[in-house]
Structure 1
């Protein structure tokens, strides 16, 4: 079994619990560190240092340590030891106790999301970024540059896919829906969905009877008192044949304006005619509407 090991330093309780668990696993296996090293990819010195209690070993070392011992009956479950390792990492870093973040369901903005992701990262033991990427289930969505910026709280994930990749990389596979809802609130996609029309608009009055004498007045939506011009336009809409006169007059008037500007370029003439037509719209239709079909008498049509 080799020489007796030094007592474990109890000043760091979480680290001490991890070292105690590792020593117990080795004692139950009955192996020496040299024999353990033959069963894994880690040296005997590294394995011994992992169980010394003087520092927190890497997760890879812990996994290899357990792998070497659990090849024999009576080994401690790997998940339990990894839980102790995460606790020792959190204790060693001392950052988690200084952080505060809302519950996933209470995240409302980018700051909340960034803090929640930082807490998740620390609770997972602040593992190496390469490990997070490898465990993300989607390394293409989580490049190292983006991962580093997210961890350092310089940015938030670029999209929902990258968010879930980060969350999975930090060991959380049980709250995907909650993270998706938080992302929707932060980015405003939930509001956009809520404001999207859910059904085709339907008029609030009967179009079939909108112009049936007295029924029209009661059936139409109340938009305030109509101006005289609006009343005239409403009557014109019920007499489609008068639009022929309006279109004819405007067409001839526009042609006269273009002809009167001979010598100008076509572009200038077209622009001037269009400008004149726009200026006259508030005048010509009013006279036409006021006189109905007789508006033709107001112009010399030749």
Structure 2
């Protein structure tokens, strides 16, 4: 089964938890890093897989995903939770612990946005809270032409805002933001305050009104479908 592994580095608890999870999968599958690397054709390599489960740093998500896929067994499929989803959650927590600024203890609140600078910072904080996916990863997840990596890089550097609400929604969805209506409302509020005469501001106003209308329609449908309660 190969030589014993070095103990997990526990300097950053979230990184250690991810490493423990990966090692447990490997042990359950009865694999060595040599066999895992051979199965991938060396990409990721044996050294990369070992480092992913060391706890010393946060591996790339592609490496974690490959690691989990390689260790899946019939027994793994029977567990009442999705190992890949669990790995993703642990990876996000590890990235957040390793990269989040000292002040970021929870997901940003779009209701605290009042201007363009606030909105830009909230987008950047949400990106960190989601584990800092790379611009390339975000481009692939969003689909062709939606979030070009060059544009995404400038958004997370704080140089620009998303070009329109649709791009903002794609960015926020990938970054696991909750309550997209509040985020679009925040963008509308920020732009109306700081860029009232900008032609792009109208798109945010229109998108916000459209989302409000859809929500109202959804609420009306839910009420119409609700069973009647006889209180007599």
TM-score under structure 1 length normalisation: 0.57
Gapped regions of structure 2 (runs ≥ 5):
193-201, 208-232
Query: How far apart, in 2, do the equivalents of 1:182 and 1:48 lie?
Result: 43
SS at match of 1:154: coil
Measure how far apart 1:183 and its partner are: 2.3
Distance 1:165 1:192 in 2: 17
Structure 2: distance between partners of 1:102 and 1:6: 37
SS of the equivalent of 2:54 reads coil
Instruction: Report the CA distance shift for 1:61/1:158 in structure 2 as closer, same or farther (over 3 A).
Output: same
Measure how far apart 1:31 and its partner are: 1.4
Superposition pairs for residues 1-302 of structure 1, below 5 Å?
1-40=1-40, 41-74=43-76, 77-95=83-101, 97-99=102-104, 103-137=109-143, 139-172=144-177, 174-188=178-192, 189=202
Q: Using CA pairs below 8 Å that are at least 6 residues apart, which structure has the higher relative contact order?
A: 2
Deviation at 1:78, TM superposition (A): 1.0
Deviation of 1:73 after TM superposition, in Å, equals 2.0
Larger radius of gyration: 1
TM-score by length of 2: 0.72
Distance 1:87 1:99 in 2: 13
* Residue deviations 1:92-151 (CA, integer Å, cap 9, x gap): 2242x33488512342221221111011110111121100111124x4232233212110
- Once the two structures are superposed, what CA deviation does each residue of 1:15-60 show, in whole Å capped at 9, x if it has no partner? 1111111111101111112222243342222211211222211110
Deviation at 1:167, TM superposition (A): 1.3
Contact 1:90 1:123 in 2 (8 A): yes
Q: Deviations 1:177-196 (Å, cap 9, x if unpaired)?
A: 22222222223348799xxx
Aligned residues: 190
Q: Distance in 2 between matches of 1:169 and 1:192?
A: 23
> In 2, distance between residues paired with 1:153 and 1:39?
41
SS of residue matched to 1:147: helix
Closer/same/farther in 2, CA of residues 39 and 178 from structure 1, 3 Å limit: farther
Corresponding residue number in structure 2 for 1:221:
none
Please identify runs of 4+ aligned residues in structure 1 that moved more than 3 A: 38-41, 99-102, 189-193
Aligned mates of 1:59, 1:126 — CA distance in 2:
10
